[in-house]
Amino acid sequence: MNTDLHIHSCLSPCGDDDMTPDVLVGMSMLNGVELVALTDHNSVRNCPAAAAAAAEYGMGFIPGCEVTTAEDVHMVCLFPDLDAAMAFGDALEPCMAPVLNKPEIFGNQIIVHPDGTTEIYDRLLIPATSISITELADFAAPFGAICYPAHVDRDANGLFAMLGLWPEDLHCPAVEIRNILPPGVPDGLKTIMASDSHRLEALPQGGFPLPLKSPDFRGLAEYLGVL
């Protein structure tokens, strides 16, 4: 199953304005990807539009979020359905820093609704939340989330770059890498590759294959052994 489980839309301040949910899902489909996850920084507000586009194009979709922990580590959180994702987003907002976005510095944060209308989200989405890396799994558990560290082989906001080691009390079913699995990752974790695309030209041809039985959250959960 060709997947890309870490993509940013125009809602992420570092995402291009043309990375609308409809366009990024459609381009992923044209690139041969069968299952995508939208994982904007600290927000799920563009997931409904992405889910609608995926349903229209007949491809798999998982709503998600890339949470910045209190340690400035990026963690991917994926949800079983839109209701769970939106409820998680509501719970996450009080944990976010009360800082307004400066579009001239960080870029726009555009919410696209399923009907195509748009609005601007004012609070800056990239600062660290108040949730620690070891607290996140418990925080997200009531919403049925699967959480794992993003791009652990990258310097910017990667687990090893920020902490220097894998916390003994961090338990997760997988780890995401960009290229190479670094030393220090516990044995037995599944490895997931994803594009972390912020621009249309970065969306990968063919995606990243995973041996899933179905292009959906359940297929991923079964592969990761959490069902």
Q: What is the pLDDT of residue 146?
A: 98
- Domain locations in the chain as residue ranges: 2-224
Q: 30: buried, middle or exposed (CB in 10 Å: 19+, 13-18, 0-12)?
A: exposed
Residue 56: CB atoms within 10 Å = 11
Q: Is the pLDDT of residue 227 over 90?
A: no
To the question of pTM greater than 0.95 for the whole model, the response is yes
What pLDDT was estimated at residue 120? 98
Convert the pLDDT of each residue in 161-191 to its tens digit. 999 999 999 999 999 999 999 999 999 999 9
pLDDT for 206 equals 95
Q: What is the pLDDT of residues 64-78, one digit of tens each?
A: 999 999 999 999 999
pLDDT over 90 (residue 52): yes
pLDDT number for residue 21: 98
Q: With bands split at pLDDT 50, 70 and 90, how would you rate the model's confidence at 222?
A: very high
Residue 18: per-residue pLDDT = 96
Look at residue 160 in the predicted model and tell me its pLDDT: 97
Residues 6+ away with beta carbon under 8 Å from 201: none
- Percentage of the chain beyond pLDDT 70 is 100
Pick the CATH number of 2-224 from 3.30.230.10, 3.30.930.10, 3.20.20.140, 3.20.20.70: 3.20.20.140
User: How far from chain centre, in Å, is Cα 15?
Assistant: 13
Query: Residue 17: what pLDDT?
Result: 97
Query: Kindly report the CA angle at 167 between 63 and 128, in degrees rounded to 5?
Result: 50
pLDDT tens digits for range 195-206: 999 999 999 999
Average pLDDT score, the chain? 97
